[in-house]
């Protein structure tokens, strides 16, 4: 040991100027001036924030702080000053760790982690570890984005990396970061198993088997499993495994095939290292259909046992998938329902309901069918495709039925949470159900996504961002989650990131109307009305119906003073309300009145929406409704819903 050294817990900050060597080669005098400015800013800000520069190395610095908060404040201040001309391209990384400090510097694992995190950054960014995040997450002055979890060189555990997303700072694209670091070996994507049956209509069966295995693996603690939506993007695409692994940021891929013939099934599966295409494991299973749960469980346990670190001996043969002993025809109907459920469209959900109900008729004690059927009604109620007072009580009844048979089904607890959120407005009960769903399946992308929606209803947008970004990490190609992330950015007034995110969704799926709506609202909120009109006109055109797709256009007509056009939209919505009594348009009518500045009528229709328990009213505290937020009637409406102002 070095004499006189001190061991302590400290915030370690690395900075590094990008491209300085090239600057020196292009213009030595300018480069020296930039380095001088760089050092002056660092010395001033680090001193102001009670830090200490321990070492200059190359074009960067190593500093330490007694306070994590001050370290992050300091990093933000430095980057903002570096944006003034001449702009200095600086990366900053911060970690909280145990170090050994002595007169000539510091050493320890914490130093290495901070250095590795800094190297992942881009000019203008501030990146930091999960330990730093834990210290600052309750400080409203910091806006934070998650980047992902990475294996860093010479670091024993995978590190979750975050970026400071305050105004003026650069937030790296997670895909850019992933190219600089290795994903955790304990990460996997399950690609859609190929239907090898002679009947192409058996596609539902191979898709269903894939999803059942994926869901089982996702419950294994310590594994990061890419969610279904992103995995199924690659269905039918003949891409190199290495490319798929890179896009999904996983180190392993499970692929396979399913051949169904009569009452027999053959499932072939192989686990592949995505970095080099090496087959880690492969096997074929020939079984009777009555044994389908057993073969799914066997495959899932094989994968878990290969990827799980330090597997306990008692867990080696522990079942992952429950064997419900459903008869073959009931299970076939369940998988057909799942096939339609996963399209996430109102008409497909109604089709799924038929198959789930048939499965229940054939096998009344099959909890997964009740759980998914509950999910259908939650979806249709939230979309306004079935009136709330019909959809949600039915969803609640089905969730309780599923739980009476199996209290360890996370989907049932999640369905109950959504009913309590959207219909009962039982905020504490919803929280309990979400927590129970997390206990059963802590890696569930859907639970992270829906809990993020719950937090937005409670006006806790910074916390919501954390959960939605986690969902995004698990399902990076999901248009629904990418869109949810864009709306969070919009509500946090991170307008540039919101626009970028909405455009990303439309790149993934140009026909995704909800993202078009969001992009249009971005233009409204930033007062770019011509662009907003263009977007909302396109929405109306795509609706291809005289009474549909007109709500945002009516609002925009109102705020731009085109009252006659706004009134025309209003009358069409009122006509639709009469023609389609089974759907709810009260919130739509309130939005148009809001744009027209007629708050009396807006509140009248919001009261109608409240009386019918419209799910949309739980989100009245978002940025779109800001014009009514200081109205006493708004506070009264919140109070009636049990929401704190």
The per-residue pLDDT for range 403-423, each reduced to its tens digit, is 999 998 888 999 899 999 998
Distances from the Cα of 317 to the Cα of 230, 293, 297, 305, 324, angstroms? 30, 15, 10, 9, 18
Q: How far apart are CA 108 and CA 62, in angstroms?
A: 13
Question: Of 306, 323, 340, which marks where a domain is finished?
Answer: 323
- Tell me the mean pLDDT in the region 558-565: 97
Q: How sure is the predictor about 311, in pLDDT bands with cuts at 50, 70 and 90?
A: very low
Spatial separation of the C-alpha atoms in residues 523 and 538, rounded to whole Å:
14
Provide the pLDDT for residue 279.
Answer: 84
Residue length, the chain?
645
Residue 313: predicted pLDDT: 37
* Number of structural domains the chain divides into: 3
Q: Are residues 166 and 287 in the same domain?
A: no
In a domain, 477, yes or no: no
165 and 16 co-located in one domain: yes
Query: Do 300 and 197 belong to one domain?
Result: yes
Read off the CATH number of the domain in which 315 is found: 3.40.50.10610
Mean pLDDT, residues 459-470 taken together? 91
Assigned domain for 382 exists: no
Q: What's residue 198's pLDDT?
A: 78
| Percent of the chain's residues with pLDDT above 70 | 92
Please check whether residues 76 and 202 belong to one and the same domain: no
| Residue 199 shares a structural domain with residue 147 | no
Q: Are residues 11 and 149 in the same domain?
A: yes
Question: With 90 as the cut, is the pLDDT of residue 217 above it?
Answer: no
Answer whether residue 71 is part of any domain.
Answer: yes
138-150 pLDDT, tens digit each: 888 999 988 877 7
pLDDT score for 221: 72
Q: What is the average per-residue pLDDT within 82-88?
A: 86
Which burial class, exposed, middle or buried, applies to 200 when counting CB atoms under 10 A from its CB (0-12, 13-18, 19+)?
exposed
Q: What is the pLDDT of residue 102?
A: 65
Looking only at Cα atoms, what is the longest distance across the chain?
85
> Hunting for tokens 């907003």 — which residue is that?
532
The C-alpha atoms of residue 513 and residue 498 are separated, in whole angstroms, by 16
Q: Which of 335, 235, 253, 256 is nearest to 293 (CA)?
A: 335
495-536 pLDDT tens trace: 988 999 999 999 998 888 889 999 999 999 999 999 999 999
Which residue, of 323, 341, 362, is where some domain finishes? 323
Each residue's pLDDT tens digit, 51-77: 999 888 767 888 999 899 999 999 999
Q: What is the average pLDDT value for the chain, to the nearest integer?
A: 87
Which one of 323, 340, 367 terminates a domain?
323
pLDDT: which is higher, 433 or 299: 433
Residue 236's pLDDT is 86
Angle 311-312-315 from CA coordinates, rounded to 5°: 95
Question: 500 lies in a domain?
Answer: no
Residues 166 and 313 in one domain: no
Burial 229-253 (b: 16+ CB within 10 A, else e): bbbbbbeeeeeebeebbbbbbbbbb
Domain assignment present for residue 137? The answer is: yes
**Predicted local distance difference test score (pLDDT) of residue 316:** 43
Contact 394, 386 (CB under 8 A): no
Identify whether residues 102 and 194 lie together within a single domain.
no
pLDDT higher than 80, residue 439: yes
CATH of residue 63's domain is: 3.30.70.1230
Is position 95 within any domain?
yes
Q: Based on the fold, state whether residues 36 and 156 are members of the same structural domain.
A: yes
| Statement to judge: residues 103 and 212 lie in one domain | no
| 382-394: average pLDDT | 85
**Nearest Cα to Cα of residue 170 among 95, 94, 86, 76:** 76
**DSSP for 507-530?**
HH-TT-HHHHHHHHHHHHHTT-HH
In the chain, % of residues over pLDDT 90: 47
- Residue 4: is its pLDDT beyond 60? no
Phi then psi for residue 266, to 5 deg, are: -120, 125
Cα angle, residue 51 at apex, residues 48 and 56 outer, rounded to 5°: 110
Q: With CA atoms as reference, report the closest residue to 184 among 215, 161, 201, 167.
A: 161
Provide mean pLDDT across the span 43-48: 94
Inside any domain, residue 1: no
Residue identified by tokens 């250095």 is 115
**Is pLDDT at 350 greater than 90 in this prediction?**
yes
Q: Do 174 and 202 fall into the same domain?
A: no
Statement to judge: residues 273 and 167 lie in one domain: no
Q: Which domain holds residue 164?
A: 6-178
Which range, 4-13, 208-217, 293-302, is most confident? 208-217
Q: Tell me if 358 is assigned to some domain.
A: no
| Per-residue pLDDT at 359 exceeds 60 | yes
Question: In 83-164, where do the E strands start and end?
Answer: 90-102, 105-107, 125-129, 144-150, 159-164
Residue 10 binned pLDDT confidence (cut-offs 50, 70, 90): confident
Distances (CA, A) of 283 to 214, 303, 304: 17, 11, 15
């Amino acid at each position: 040991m070095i004499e006189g050294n001190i061991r302590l817990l400290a915030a370690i900050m690395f900075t590094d100027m990008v491209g300085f060597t090239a600057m020196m080669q292009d213009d030595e005098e300018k480069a020296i001036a930039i380095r001088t400015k760089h050092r002056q800013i660092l010395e001033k800000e680090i001193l102001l924030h009670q830090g200490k520069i321990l070492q200059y190395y190359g074009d960067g610095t190593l500093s330490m702080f007694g306070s994590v908060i001050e370290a992050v404040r300091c990093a933000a201040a430095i980057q903002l000053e570096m944006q003034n001309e001449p702009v200095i391209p600086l990366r900053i990384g911060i970690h909280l760790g145990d170090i050994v400090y002595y007169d000539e510097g510091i050493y320890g694992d914490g130093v290495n982690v901070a250095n590795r995190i800094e190297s992942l950054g881009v000019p203008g960014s501030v990146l930091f570890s999960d330990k730093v995040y834990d210290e600052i997450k309750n400080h409203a002055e910091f806006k934070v984005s998650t980047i992902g979890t990475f294996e860093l060189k010479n670091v024993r555990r995978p590190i979750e990396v975050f970026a400071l997303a305050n105004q003026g700072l650069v937030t790296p694209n997670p895909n850019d970061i992933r190219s600089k670091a290795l994903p955790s070996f304990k990460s996997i994507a399950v690609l859609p198993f190929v239907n090898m049956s002679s009947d192409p209509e058996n596609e539902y069966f191979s898709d269903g088997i894939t999803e059942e295995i994926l869901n089982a693996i996702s419950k294994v603690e310590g594994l990061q499993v890419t969610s279904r939506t992103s995995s199924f993007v690659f269905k039918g695409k003949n891409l190199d495994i290495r490319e798929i692994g890179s896009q999904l940021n996983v180190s392993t891929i499970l692929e396979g095939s399913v051949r169904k013939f009569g009452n027999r099934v053959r499932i072939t599966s192989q686990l592949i290292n995505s970095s080099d295409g090496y087959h880690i494991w492969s096997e074929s299973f020939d079984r009777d259909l009555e044994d389908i749960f057993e073969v799914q469980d066997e495959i899932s346990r094989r994968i878990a046992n290969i990827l799980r670190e330090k597997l306990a001996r008692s867990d080696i043969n522990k079942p992952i998938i429950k064997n419900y002993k459903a008869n073959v025809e009931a299970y076939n109907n369940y998988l057909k329902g799942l096939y339609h459920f996963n399209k996430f469209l109102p008409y497909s959900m109604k089709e799924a309901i038929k198959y789930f109900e048939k499965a229940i008729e054939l096998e009344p004690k099959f909890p997964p069918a009740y759980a998914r059927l509950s999910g259908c009604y939650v979806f249709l109620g939230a979309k306004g495709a079935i009136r709330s007072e019909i959809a949600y009580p039915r969803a609640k009844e089905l969730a309780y039925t599923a739980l009476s048979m199996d209290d360890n089904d996370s989907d049932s607890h999640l369905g109950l949470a959504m009913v309590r959120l959207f219909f009962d407005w039982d905020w504490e009960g919803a929280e309990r159900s979400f927590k129970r769903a997390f206990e059963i399946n802590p890696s569930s992308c859907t639970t992270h996504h829906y809990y993020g929606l719950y937090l937005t209803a409670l006006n806790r947008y910074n916390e919501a961002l954390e959960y939605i970004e986690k969902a995004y990490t698990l399902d990076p190609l999901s248009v629904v989650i990418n869109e949810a992330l864009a709306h969070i950015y919009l509500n946090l007034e991170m307008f540039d990131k919101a626009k970028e995110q909405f455009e990303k969704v439309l790149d993934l799926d140009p026909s995704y109307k909800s993202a078009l709506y969001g992009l249009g609202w971005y233009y409204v909120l930033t007062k770019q009305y011509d662009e907003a009109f263009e977007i909302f006109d396109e929405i109306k055109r795509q609706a291809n119906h005289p009474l549909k797709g007109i709500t945002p256009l009516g609002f925009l007509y109102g705020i731009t003073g085109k009252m006659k056009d706004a009134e025309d939209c209003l009358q069409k919505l009122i006509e639709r309300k009469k023609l389609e009594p089974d759907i709810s348009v009260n919130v739509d009518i309130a939005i148009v009145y809001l744009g027209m500045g007629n708050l009396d009528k807006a509140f009248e229709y919001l009261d109608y929406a409240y009386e019918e328990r419209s799910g949309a009213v739980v989100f009245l505290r978002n940025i779109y409704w800001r014009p009514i937020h200081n109205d006493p009637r708004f506070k009264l409406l919140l109070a009636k819903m049990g929401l704190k102002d």
